[in-house]
Structure formats: C-alpha cells, structure tokens
Structure 1
Amino acid sequence: MSVGGLAAKSNVSTIPRHLTAIARTDLSKPMSLAIADGVVVRNSSVFDYGCGRGGDVQRLTAMGYTAHGWDPGHHPDVEIRPADIVNLGYVVNVIEDPAERVQALRSAWGLAREVLIVAARPDWEARTLPGRRHGDGIITSKGTFQKFFTQEELRAWIDGALGVRSVAAAPGVFYVFRDGIRAQSFFASRIRQRPVAVRRPKVSEVLYDAHRNAMDGLAVFVTGRGRLPEAWELGSNVECLLDAFSSVKQAAAVLRRVVGERDWDNDLAAARDRAAQDLLVYLALAAFAGRPKASGLPPDVALDVKALFGSYKAACEQADMLLRQVADQKAINTACTRSPIGKLTPEALYVHVSVLGSLDPLLRVYEGCARALTGAVSEATLIKFARTAGKVSYLAYPAFDRDPHPALWVSLRADLPRLNVKHRDFSASANPPILHRKETFVPEGYPGREKFARLTRQEERAGLLEENSTIGTRDGWQRRLNELGYRLSGHRLLRAAPR
C-alpha cells in the first residue's frame, strides 16, 4: 500500500511511495484476518486508509460490505471519512519520516469508531529485500522506502503512539479496539473451545421435534459454555423457544428428558469442566494486557464467572495460580511429560494444532503467552512446547495430511523471556526437515490417523526408523529407503524394484 501527504499535508516526500502499492488478486492478509476473526461483520463500514490501488475496497464492496478507501497516490480525491473499521494496511512501513509515520497512525485511529487494523512488514522479510540503509529502514532497488518491524517493536510503537493496548492478530498485524469490553470478548472467543457434538435424542418428544433447530441451538450453547443461557444469548432462536416453552429452563428440562437424564448430566458436567478451564486460561492471559475489573467483563463472560466460580475474585485467584506456574519451567516440563496427547522428545512436546483446546490448562496458558506475542499463526500445523526453555514454536507442514513424510515449510518461534519472534523459511530448501510417526501428533478420530499408524508399523518392521539421527531430513530419509530397498506409494511402504 502507499500513503503520503497525510491529514496535515505539510510534508512532501521525494521518495516515490506510490510504487509500493501492489496489484492484488485477493483480499490482503489483514482484511482476510479481520473477516475470519469476526472483527469485520456484514453491517460494518470499512475505510482503507492508504488503500493503494484499491483492491481491498473493490473486493469488500463485491462481497456486500460498505467499504471506501483513500490513497494520496492512487485515489487522492476520495473523501476521508470515519468508519466502524479502519484499515492501515502496510502503510507505516513505507513512510520514511518517523514523525509522519506516527501522524499516519493517529490519523487512522481518529477515523476508527470501533477497531483500527494496523499491519506492517515483519523483520524477517528484510532478508529477501536488498537495499541501502536509510534512517531506520532501507531504500529498495525501486527507490522506495521500507521499515521492517519486529513483532514486539510494532506492538510497543502502536501502544506508545496511541496510549492504548493493541491485540496481536497475527505476525505483523494488530487490532486496536475502542471498546474494552469488545476487546475482551474477542480475546475470550479465541480461547474458548468448540462445543462437543450434541447427543441424539433417545426418546420421541413432540415439542422437541417441532422445534428441533432451536433446541439443538440450546444444546450447543450448554455443551460449549457449561451453563444454561440467558434468553438474550440465544439470538434468533429465543423467540421460537419462548413461544413453545415458558422459559429457557423449561426448554432445557425437555431437552434433558429426550437426550437421557444421565447422559445430559454427564455432558453438562464435562462441559462445565471444559468451560472452567477456558475461563481460567482467559483470565490468566488477560493479566498481560491488564485484566479488566468485574464491571469491564463482557456480559456473557460475567455470567460464566458466576455460574462456574461463584465470584470474580475466586476465578482470578485460581487464574493467578495458573499464571505463576508458567514461569516455572519444571511445572511446564511436568505438564509436557504427562500430556496424553502429542509426541514427546527430550527437548519438547509436539502437538497438532487441533488438540490445543484439549491440553492441560498450563500448556494452554504457555501457548497463549506465545500467541499474545505472535498473534494467531493460521498456517501452523504443529505446536512445539519447549520443555527446558520458555519457547513455543509454530511449525507449518502444508502437506501434512497427504504426504507420508511432510516437509517443514516455515517455523515461527516465540522466545518468551526475550519477547522475541524468530522466523525460519524452509520453503526453498533442497533438504528440509521432515516428519515421521504422524499419528503421534494427532488425536484419536483425526482423519487418516489409522493410515498414518499403519505406515509407521510397516516402517518399524522394515527397520527404517532405527537410525533417528539420519532420517530427519528429506535426503537422509531417501538414503535410508534406498539402503534397505524400499519406496513409498502414498501411505504404503513397498519393496523397491531391483536395480
């Protein structure tokens, strides 16, 4: 994106910022994230401040959103207007004057009624872009300026310039919320586990059958939150339920009968345990950004606290105990060692991202500390919990499901004591690290798990996995296959044809 001649329009840059604008074929990363995260919703108005060629505005409009954008180089005549969501996407990194950079941030923040999205290029991209030093950045071969930010540097810069606490959405992308309660709702939603599948009714019930969709919505809420909802929490289902039943409580009583009282009670107890763990993880991690007072909790979270812990004070006391353990590497090591899920090595515990919500709450807080630093790493396949150092890594294996021994594509490591994020790119490596024993990373019921396990058994019988020190890379693994006379066809091990 490009920007220049900001609100005051007093600075004239001799650097051609408009040349940094990219012609995109899809939504930019920050806008895609904001939609996926529920920050941008259907009734949101969006303003792209420094929109470049206007690709995001065009695509958002085509998708049915109310979107406008301004850019001094490409769309200088568009009215600069307030909006619910303002996007400052890859703008601050092309401004060479630090004072003007801050002015751009504050101008965009002044337009945002609800949320400001700020995106900038992360420091590891500097390795791929040669240039000569200029100020705190570089001048590229095109004559444009680029300033690269470390993750914590970008956060500190935003927070310092605006006097707020931003939320890491992803590497290089932050959200700044106007309303603290909305920020807490977003934070809590990222931690909450998905509801479990609702049991099928055991008996026929006329009222249930007549209002199945609304009743199933009630069941999903209960299994996700471990409590009965208030009427306002049911959204569009509430009118249907209250027309058929005198109260939500009566509807739940009918649901309990048709599901089976014992099964319902067991499901509710399990849901309460999961929801209590989610709440403790949320409150523990909320301490980093300044845990809200009870009056600052989202209404639904306040109801969770009352139902699951009785009081906010009691919940915070338990969350603080959990948070203190994160600084105890022995406690982290014990939690890794005892984990029934994942692959344990002498240095770390590796788990598939799909099992994060099922881990010990201490490991969830450990990972949450890392995510508070990095933001969500959407491309991650595995999470690596270091057992002897405060480090959590996100590992991307794009071919995990289809390749019997997938190659590592990208690694992003959060070093918690140093507040540092390290990025390593293996995508162009001729000999990248690869995985074995894929079934050990995933939970029971994971699609393809039995296929993974069957291949591991075949490789064990063939003696292929005995040389751990040599088979961890693509070349080393291929040599081992050749030495013992085997080849792979999908997830099947076959004898190689004689040479």
Structure 2
Amino acid sequence: MKTPSQAVARHRTAMARSSLSRPVDFALTDNILAPGRTFFDYGCGRGDDLRALSALGYSVSGWDPGHRPAAAKDVADVVNLGYVVNVIEDPVERLETIRTAWCLTQTVLVVSGRLVWEARNLVGRRLADGIITQSGTFQKFYEQDELASWIERALGTKPVAAAPGIFYVFRNDADQQQFLANRVHTYRPRLRIDPHVTYEQHQELLAPLLNFLTMHGRQPRPGELTVEHECKIKAEFHSLGRAMNLIYKVTDDAHWEKVRIQCQSELTVYCALSRFGNRPRFSQLGAGLQRDIRTHFQTYKNVTTQGDRLLASCGNAMMVLMAARHAGVGKQTPSALYVHRNALAELPPLLQVYEGCARVLCGSTPSANMVKLSVVKPQVSFLTYPNFERNAHPTLASAITVNLRHLTVDWRDYSQSANPPLLHRKEEFVSDEDPRRRLYHTLTRAEINAGLYEHPEHIGTLKGWQQMLRSAGKVVRGHRLYNWP
C-alpha cells in the first residue's frame, strides 16, 4: 500500500474500536483464527484488533501506512485485509495490496470491503470507481458478487463468503472443504440412554466417543480422538470397540439408524453446494471427510451424483414448491416458507441446498433468526427479529435478500420504521423440540379465541396489531393475553 496522497486522507478511515472488527470477529467465530495460529493485520489502523487478540493470547502483528509505517510485514497463518480494498482510490495499487497480503498468508486470507447498501445515505463526490467523502476519504462500494469476483481474478483462487462484505481465501483445498462441510446445518434426534451402572460410572470418560459417534455416524479411526481420551478409554475398556459396544448397549438401534440417515443427508447437501466453484477431487478432501464419505456412500461418485440431482432440483420451481409444501417444519404462506434458524437442519435436503445456495453468495448472517424461502421466485431472505424468544410478537429489524437468478444481495433496514412487519403464531416457525413451543402455542390459542386473528390482513404490522388489541380490549404481557385494565 503506497503512502496516502494529499488529496485522499486514507488515515482518517482508521476507526477507533472498543470491540473486535466484524472480519476478525467472524474469523474467531468460524474457527479460522484458531488457537495456535499466528495473525497479521495488513492495514491495522490504530491497532485495536491487535490489542484485543493479544489479550486473548494470540501471537499478532500488524502494519499500517498511516499509523504503523515502520512495522514489519510478517508472514502469518491468518492475514486480515480488513476494509482496506475499499479505501484505495488507485485500482492498480488496490490489486497490488491484496496480492501482497496473499503472499504473506500461510493458511487463510480474510478480505472485507464495504457494500453498496452502506452508501445510500453517504454524501460525497465521484472519483474513479468510488466517491470522496466529506471527510476527504475515498470509498469504493462493492456488490457482494462483484467483490467475490474481483478477489478471484486478483488471486486466481475462489473465495468463500463468510458474511456480507467478508470473504475467506484458503491456501489449502482440504481446509476449505472442511470449512464448507462444517457449515452444513446439523440435526441429531434426541438420545435416550437406558440406566446402566457401568455406563453411568464412566459417562464422562465416554462422552468424547459418544459425541464422535453422534456427529459422524461411524467409529473413530486412530488419531480422531485426542491421544489423552483414547488412552484413557483403552486403559479402562482395553479397546475402543468394547467402549462402543457399551454405548450401543444402553442406546436404541433406531437412534443410530436415524443418525446414519442424517449424516448421509448432510454429506449430500455439502456435495451439492460444492458445485459452486470447482468441486474438489476426493484426494483434496481432509482425511475425516473422506472417511465419512466412504462409510456412508462407499464412493465419492455416489454422493456427488446425489448432490448434483439435489442442486438441479433447486432450479425447478415446482420441485421447490412441492418440497416446501411437504416440509415438516416452518410456516406456510402462499408465496414462501418461513423457518426459524433452530429448525433449518430439519428441512428436506432440497430446501437445505436452496437455502445453502443463498449462503454461498452472502455468507453467514448471525443476527438473522428467521429464513424466508420463496416458492414463487428463486429468492431467500435472512430476517432479523430481535428478542424473538422474549417478545411474544417480535418486529422485523432488517432483511438480507439473496436473488439466486440475478446473484444479488440486498439489505433493508426496518429498525427505524414506525410500523414494521410483526410476527404471530411463533410456534409454527420453530422446531418441534423447541422447549418454548408449547408456550407460544398456548398464546396463539388464546388470541384466536379472543377473535384477534379474524382479519389477518390488518394485523401484519405493529400499528395494525396494536389497533386490533385496543379494539378487542386486550393486552399481551410476556406470552399471556389479558383483558385491558
């Protein structure tokens, strides 16, 4: 990165933060910045991320042309190029910068930039492919797909969307594929364990083995459990096989059959989504993922063939509609299926791929707790309803909408709206296993009995719902309906 010119005050873009920046926060949450990995911040600004990570015990360093120009540019496992490519007005220098950061990267490069929706209320004048703000800084705003394509052209490697405006670029194919496999929604049926003295005596010792069997649906190979756990289990039971026999003795065979089916479904969804970009060869997968595939499908071709069929079905509007209408979870409307995030793993595999296609484009949206799967056009929306659990009728704060036909990602803010959309019948959105589902259902029955749902066209927004409550002389406190005092 060259020394900032007099015309563009790049140093003013460095924000003072009291918490981690979004890209670094995502890298921690996604286990990209795992314990033991080194971290270098290319364009670290005032160094707030460096101080926070250092306090967490990470080995960190950083360089910035305005605030740390004399610092060394260190090679590191994880390199962060956080909101740098959007503040460089020279496209050639912008390209040089990301390539330099890539050369320093040993494992994962984290690249972030500002998206077009952030410019809606920004005042400035045009300069090259961006604008000069009133404070004299330059900002280049990207479409999500535009930023992904630019990164791929610059580095010759397809990035993975971590979140809107944030991408990971992996050095190693196996690391990338394991990350993508881990992003597939997982669901496991509840496990009932029969009373057994020996098992109860060794329950804590057997927990890592039980967790592995539950997640992979197969026996662990040497090295897949920690050496410490494996040695302790063998010391007590003489072999992993005997320990597993005890687990199978106190559990139901039908449970493990359900786990096997679920593992197959998740691997199929992963392989369907691996079509985005260049699907890896089997040899490019990590050893654990290879073993999962061999156990549940015998060959890589078997699972990729099923994955391709699923992906093709997502392009068939009638198949999507039929899958949505026969889904065992979620709320049906004429135009969409709405599902709470705790029930996404219970969707049919086709709909999981449909939702996964949208996440391939936009990445994760942690604040979103509801997903809207359109059945009238290829579109998925990630909706944020703050305080969903506590508020009987939460209102919509924001929506990120991914159009799969046009490959666009858009954001709408409802947080300042005086009359935002509002939810009813919360029990219909969540999993059957949600512990609060009965509470939601009880409130819905009370509201139906009070006649509050007789005109659904009037109650879909906050003001309409409040007016209906006033007209009926009712008030909702917590998740109970009362007569107005």
TM-score using structure 1 length: 0.94
Q: Is the 8 A contact 1:211 1:241 kept in 2?
A: no
Q: Distance in 1 between matches of 2:420 and 2:66?
A: 42
Give 2:102's aligned amino acid.
Answer: W
Using the TM superposition, name which of 479-488 and 427-436 deviates more. 479-488
* Distance apart, 1:12 and its partner CA: 4.1
Number of the residue aligned with 2:311: 323
Q: Distance in 2 between matches of 1:251 and 1:218?
A: 8
Q: Does 1:448 align with 2:436?
A: yes
SS state of the match for residue 232, structure 1?
coil
Q: Does 1:73 align with 2:66?
A: yes
Q: Does 1:487 align with 2:443?
A: no
Q: Does 1:218 align with 2:209?
A: yes
Q: Distance in 1 between matches of 2:45 and 2:33?
A: 20
Give 2:255's aligned amino acid.
Answer: D
Give 1:386's aligned amino acid.
Answer: S
User: Which of these residues, 117, 135, 142, is aligned with residue 142 of structure 1?
Assistant: 135
Using the TM superposition, name which of 239-248 and 385-394 deviates more. 239-248
Give 2:272's aligned amino acid.
Answer: A
Q: Is the 8 A contact 1:131 1:139 kept in 2?
A: yes
Number of the residue aligned with 1:398: 386
Q: Distance in 1 between matches of 2:169 and 2:78?
A: 10
Q: Is the 8 A contact 2:189 2:258 kept in 1?
A: no
Q: Distance in 1 between matches of 2:483 and 2:405?
A: 49
Share of identical aligned residues, percent?
43
Q: Is the 8 A contact 1:409 1:427 kept in 2?
A: yes
Q: Distance in 2 between matches of 1:63 and 1:194?
A: 31
TM-score using structure 2 length: 0.97
* Distance apart, 1:13 and its partner CA: 5.5
Give 2:25's aligned amino acid.
Answer: S
What per-residue deviation string (whole Å, max 9, x for no partner) do you get for residues 301-344 of structure 1? 11111111111111111111111101111000000000111100
SS state of the match for residue 224, structure 2?
helix
Q: Distance in 2 between matches of 1:28 and 1:384?
A: 28
Q: Distance in 2 between matches of 1:243 and 1:184?
A: 35
Q: Is the 8 A contact 2:373 2:381 kept in 1?
A: yes
SS state of the match for residue 381, structure 2?
strand
Change (3 A) 1:210 1:479: closer
How many residues are matched? 484
User: Which of these residues, 326, 330, 340, is aligned with residue 338 of structure 1?
Assistant: 326
Question: 1:112-123 residue pairs with structure 2 within 5 A?
Answer: 112-123=105-116
Number of the residue aligned with 1:83: 76
Q: Is the 8 A contact 1:118 1:174 kept in 2?
A: yes
Number of the residue aligned with 1:158: 151
SS state of the match for residue 94, structure 1?
coil
User: Which of these residues, 117, 120, 126, is aligned with residue 133 of structure 1?
Assistant: 126
Q: Distance in 2 between matches of 1:26 and 1:371?
A: 26
Using the TM superposition, name which of 455-464 and 327-336 deviates more. 455-464
Number of the residue aligned with 1:377: 365
Q: Distance in 2 between matches of 1:210 and 1:454?
A: 41
Q: Distance in 2 between matches of 1:255 and 1:455?
A: 41
Q: Does 1:248 align with 2:236?
A: no
Give 1:52's aligned amino acid.
Answer: G
SS state of the match for residue 487, structure 1?
strand
Question: 1:277-296 residue pairs with structure 2 within 5 A?
Answer: 277-296=265-284
Q: Distance in 2 between matches of 1:251 and 1:478?
A: 59
Q: Distance in 2 between matches of 1:109 and 1:410?
A: 34
Q: Distance in 2 between matches of 1:314 and 1:489?
A: 54
What per-residue deviation string (whole Å, max 9, x for no partner) do you get for residues 106-133 of structure 1? 1111101100000111111111322122
* Distance apart, 1:83 and its partner CA: 0.4
What per-residue deviation string (whole Å, max 9, x for no partner) do you get for residues 374-399 of structure 1? 00111111100001111010000012
Q: Distance in 2 between matches of 1:55 and 1:254?
A: 51
SS state of the match for residue 183, structure 2?
helix
Aligned CA RMSD, in angstroms, stands at: 1.5
Give 1:290's aligned amino acid.
Answer: N
Q: Is the 8 A contact 1:195 1:220 kept in 2?
A: no
Change (3 A) 1:387 1:176: same
Q: Is the 8 A contact 2:189 2:255 kept in 1?
A: no
* Distance apart, 1:445 and its partner CA: 3.0
Give 1:64's aligned amino acid.
Answer: G
Q: Is the 8 A contact 2:163 2:362 kept in 1?
A: yes
Q: Is the 8 A contact 1:136 1:147 kept in 2?
A: yes
* Distance apart, 1:202 and its partner CA: 2.4
What per-residue deviation string (whole Å, max 9, x for no partner) do you get for residues 252-306 of structure 1? 112222x14xx1x212111100000000000010011211111111111111111
Give 2:140's aligned amino acid.
Answer: K
Q: Is the 8 A contact 1:409 1:425 kept in 2?
A: yes
Give 2:99's aligned amino acid.
Answer: R
User: Which of these residues, 412, 422, 429, is aligned with residue 434 of structure 1?
Assistant: 422
* Distance apart, 1:448 and its partner CA: 2.3
Number of the residue aligned with 1:233: 224
Q: Distance in 2 between matches of 1:247 and 1:192?
A: 32
Give 1:243's aligned amino acid.
Answer: A
SS state of the match for residue 350, structure 1?
strand
SS state of the match for residue 458, structure 2?
coil
* Distance apart, 1:442 and its partner CA: 0.7
Q: Distance in 1 between matches of 2:187 and 2:84?
A: 36
Q: Is the 8 A contact 1:17 1:94 kept in 2?
A: yes
Q: Distance in 2 between matches of 1:62 and 1:194?
A: 35
Q: Is the 8 A contact 2:188 2:262 kept in 1?
A: no
Q: Does 1:477 align with 2:470?
A: no
- Could you list the runs of 5+ residues in structure 1 that have no partner in the other structure? none
Q: Distance in 2 between matches of 1:447 and 1:202?
A: 24
Q: Is the 8 A contact 1:223 1:267 kept in 2?
A: no
SS state of the match for residue 234, structure 1?
coil
* Distance apart, 1:366 and its partner CA: 0.3
User: Which of these residues, 354, 374, 385, is aligned with residue 366 of structure 1?
Assistant: 354
What per-residue deviation string (whole Å, max 9, x for no partner) do you get for residues 57-77 of structure 1? 000000111111111111112
Q: Distance in 2 between matches of 1:85 and 1:75?
A: 19
Q: Is the 8 A contact 1:198 1:220 kept in 2?
A: no
Q: Is the 8 A contact 1:196 1:224 kept in 2?
A: no
Number of the residue aligned with 1:413: 401
* Distance apart, 1:405 and its partner CA: 1.1
Q: Is the 8 A contact 1:48 1:69 kept in 2?
A: yes
* Distance apart, 1:246 and its partner CA: 4.0
Give 1:479's aligned amino acid.
Answer: Q
Give 1:45's aligned amino acid.
Answer: T
